[in-house]
Structure 1
Amino acid sequence: MKLSKIAMLAAIACASYANSMSASANETFQLVGHCEEAGCDCSEPVCGCEDACDAMCDDGCDSMCGSGLGLGLLDHNCCIGEPWSLFGDHCGWSAGGWVQMGYHSRANALFNSRPDEFQLHQAWLYAEKAIDTSCGFDIGGRIDYVYGTDGPDTQAFGTGTGWDNGWDNGNDYGSAIPQLYMEAGYGDLSVKVGHFYTIIGWEVVTAPDNFFYSHAYTMYNSEPFTHTGALFTYTPSDDVTVYGGYTLGWDSGFDDNGDSFLGGISLALTDNVSLTYATVAGRFGDSVGAGSGERGYMHSIVADVALSDNLQYIFQNDILSTEDAAGATVRETYGINQYLIYTVNDCLAYGGRFEWYDQEGVFDSEGEVTSLTAGLNYKPHANVLVRPEVRWDWDNTAGVDAGLEDGDDQTTFGIDTIFLF
């Protein structure tokens, strides 16, 4: 079911945590400050005054960066250098990927459904030509391939017979092609045509773009992962981005699974606050059976607030309301997710997530589920990300079966490592 915000490999590997909607202000603090001491007026996060500051900034860190081993756990100094790329960029094309391996102690009926095993979640490869419309018209595209225990969850399973829906290997492992699209643009307007990630929500399928190892109930049960169709993006200014398009329902391949509108708007309200509204409405899928296709409306509102140079707060609200062809309720869900992320430096960030999820039609009975997750992101190298976490889940209503392995409540320890290339 997911998007938004796919970055190229260099941007992913340089981030101190995955899937932030804003770049780390701490990098500006470390690098630009020393460049200004050298007599430069630097306005870019990576120094911006190359001639006078090359000696300080050749490796992406200054002379005050400490040990140089990427071990800045207790202070604000960290040196992880530049990320290594297996393929690099050639004539506008880039290719790369990552390998995500992890362990978690309990299952929760979300992505992490294979407990007490060391497993391969994502062996990911992509090739992309990102468009550049600064000089006029350009055309590009992207293809992604994934194998692992996350593979079956990212297949085009909307109709039950999607193009990669049968690419399973045993009970939990499988392959998928979660993206395959062409993109064209001119000036401030662009369009994707094909199979692509959704723009709904804050958490995404791609592991390096999330802060946490585990996922939210809202993301997994109330949001699409992918769409097939056409999506226009219009950026009239640096502060406004507008989306609109037509898709074949939710999580479908190149077959008729529905008719839905996908759209939204993203606003930079201030230098420290951004707000994104995204919605999908129409016929979501026909996989349940003839004439019983799910249809309705859902939206996601995400507010991203930089409370300080190091502290980021994200608030998300999702509402989903669907029914079948006869008018009976299929799913009614309401979710609130809150994230608080403190970035110490390029090597280390701490985070917390609290979710309240009220649902009808997702689990066996109507009721509420809450979840609290605490974790950290540690980068010992520019191409390596380690994400340990502890998660607490509670069924708040008697009779609700949210798929918790331990019953009504449970504590789960999880840790994964992502190797980017």
Structure 2
Amino acid sequence: MKLLSGTAIGSTLEQSKISISGWTEGAYTASSARGGSLPIGFNYKPNQFLLQQNWLRVERSIDTESSEPSWGFRFDTILPGSDYRFTLARGLMTSQLTDNRGDPNLYGIDPIQFYGEFYLPGIAKGLDIKVGRFFAQFGVESIDATQNPLFSGSYNFFYNPFTHTGVLTTLNLDDTWSVQNGLVTGSDIFIDSGSNPTYIGSVKWAPPKGNDSVLFAVVIGSHRYDASHNLNNPDVFDLVYTHTFNDDLSYTLDACYSFQTNLPDSGFVNNFGVAQYLTYQICPQLSVTGRLEFFDDCQGQKTGFKGLYTALTTGVTYKPESWLWIRPEVRYDYNDESRPFANKSSLFTASCDVIFRW
């Protein structure tokens, strides 16, 4: 936008209240597992460089300060990046997952968010309506790498729905309480023969002058595995609690439970996880985050290996410039019942990603 400032294109975008931005994220993960680091998340390729995200964002933001209704939109696209492999929605450009002689392409494109947005200030403290494909509305972490305190993802995040397609309303009841209600085509489904009506919703309590906030969110659908379409339909219940000790130190707890029925051979399956985050802001350019997580894949349906996963991660976010982020981290994972990490019970990784914002 700075480059376009003063040009005809820049003036047109400014008058239309449209902005263009994005980032490029590259990363390297050193791992004790040679064959692959799954079931940990997006940095699943050990001992090699990956272009995780090359993100383009085009948006027109709604105006929540005006007394008049406003409208906007957002288009977010990974083009290209290795993260696409896990975020693609069923029924949307999924041929990329078999184009490499039946295997996924290493890099691909995912139009990960595209929605229209309408804001009505006269209803309670404001009603927001989204129509399209958007991020799942629960948990702490995000597909958007710039919204995460650490480079690697938690099991709670990676093994639950990423996106929904449909209609979502957010009603601000007052300055403290807000509620969400939505109807979508399923979890990680765009438009597909396996689509099924699914409810998503949340209740948030966040006093503007308080040190605590609580978010409870649900995804409720058929909760039955669709064998005819090889499609998961989990019900999800998630609770996020945040406490701010002071301007520099904050704590977040994310507790998540999901279940599903009608699985071949196993019938009922479930999993639950608790992830805790402690972040200390040393200075505006430097912060440190620790994450301790326990994730029980009770029947092994999510990760492929049953048992309780324990994961401890410590990372640093360094921003020498507003457009440059560097995030090194070390992580240790352990499963008390199975050997998911290249036939080992434990995994050690040392990673670093670099984000160039533009």
**What is the TM-score with the length of structure 1 in the denominator?**
0.74
Aligned equivalents of 1:344, 1:264: Cα separation in 2: 33
The residue matched to 1:105 in structure 2 has which SS? Answer: strand
Residue of structure 2 in register with 1:396 after alignment: 336
Q: Following TM superposition, by how much is the alpha carbon of 1:344 offset from its aligned partner in structure 2, in angstroms?
A: 1.0
Task: Go from structure 1 to structure 2 and tell me whether the alpha carbon gap of 1:154 and 1:336 turns closer, same or farther (over 3 Å shift).
Answer: same
Residue of structure 1 in register with 2:174 after alignment: 237
- The Cα offsets for residues 325-381 of structure 1, whole Å up to 9 and x where unpaired, read as 889635300100000000011100011000000112223443111100001000010
The residue matched to 1:298 in structure 2 has which SS? Answer: strand
Aligned equivalents of 1:313, 1:285: Cα separation in 2: 35
Task: Go from structure 1 to structure 2 and tell me whether the alpha carbon gap of 1:405 and 1:346 turns closer, same or farther (over 3 Å shift).
Answer: farther
Aligned partner (choices 175, 182, 188) of residue 116 of structure 2: 182
Within the alignment, does 1:156 sit opposite 2:89 as a pair? yes
Q: Following TM superposition, by how much is the alpha carbon of 1:254 offset from its aligned partner in structure 2, in angstroms?
A: 2.8
Aligned equivalents of 1:238, 1:132: Cα separation in 2: 17
Aligned equivalents of 1:151, 1:290: Cα separation in 2: 25
**What is the TM-score with the length of structure 2 in the denominator?**
0.86
Aligned equivalents of 1:348, 1:189: Cα separation in 2: 36
The residue matched to 2:108 in structure 1 has which SS? Answer: strand
C-alpha contact 1:87 1:94 (8 A) present in aligned 2 = no
Task: Go from structure 1 to structure 2 and tell me whether the alpha carbon gap of 1:86 and 1:275 turns closer, same or farther (over 3 Å shift).
Answer: farther
Within the alignment, does 1:108 sit opposite 2:48 as a pair? no
Within the alignment, does 1:371 sit opposite 2:311 as a pair? yes
The residue matched to 2:221 in structure 1 has which SS? Answer: strand
C-alpha contact 1:394 1:410 (8 A) present in aligned 2 = yes
Residue of structure 2 in register with 1:340 after alignment: 278
Aligned equivalents of 1:336, 1:383: Cα separation in 2: 33
Within the alignment, does 1:139 sit opposite 2:78 as a pair? no
Task: Go from structure 1 to structure 2 and tell me whether the alpha carbon gap of 1:406 and 1:230 turns closer, same or farther (over 3 Å shift).
Answer: same
Task: Read off the aligned partner of 2:171 and give its amino acid letter.
Answer: Y
Aligned equivalents of 2:127, 2:325: Cα separation in 1: 35
C-alpha contact 1:250 1:285 (8 A) present in aligned 2 = no
C-alpha contact 1:378 1:385 (8 A) present in aligned 2 = yes
- Structure of greater Rg: 1
Q: Following TM superposition, by how much is the alpha carbon of 1:401 offset from its aligned partner in structure 2, in angstroms?
A: 4.0
Residue of structure 1 in register with 2:34 after alignment: none
Aligned equivalents of 1:358, 1:325: Cα separation in 2: 18
C-alpha contact 1:87 1:96 (8 A) present in aligned 2 = no
Q: Following TM superposition, by how much is the alpha carbon of 1:296 offset from its aligned partner in structure 2, in angstroms?
A: 4.8
Identity of aligned residues (%): 29
Task: Read off the aligned partner of 1:281 and give its amino acid letter.
Answer: I
After TM superposition, the structure 1 = structure 2 runs for residues 90-101 of structure 1, keeping only pairs within 5 Å, are: 90=14, 91-101=16-26
Within the alignment, does 1:386 sit opposite 2:313 as a pair? no
Task: Go from structure 1 to structure 2 and tell me whether the alpha carbon gap of 1:374 and 1:87 turns closer, same or farther (over 3 Å shift).
Answer: farther
Task: Read off the aligned partner of 2:243 and give its amino acid letter.
Answer: V
The residue matched to 1:167 in structure 2 has which SS? Answer: helix
What is the aligned length?
329
After TM superposition, the structure 1 = structure 2 runs for residues 121-270 of structure 1, keeping only pairs within 5 Å, are: 121-133=52-64, 134-146=66-78, 147-157=80-90, 162-167=91-96, 170=100, 171-187=105-121, 188-221=126-159, 223-256=160-193, 257-269=195-207
Task: Go from structure 1 to structure 2 and tell me whether the alpha carbon gap of 1:135 and 1:356 turns closer, same or farther (over 3 Å shift).
Answer: same
Residue of structure 2 in register with 1:43 after alignment: none
The residue matched to 1:247 in structure 2 has which SS? Answer: strand
Q: Following TM superposition, by how much is the alpha carbon of 1:137 offset from its aligned partner in structure 2, in angstroms?
A: 1.4
Aligned equivalents of 1:100, 1:293: Cα separation in 2: 31
Task: Go from structure 1 to structure 2 and tell me whether the alpha carbon gap of 1:292 and 1:255 turns closer, same or farther (over 3 Å shift).
Answer: closer
Task: Read off the aligned partner of 1:121 and give its amino acid letter.
Answer: Q
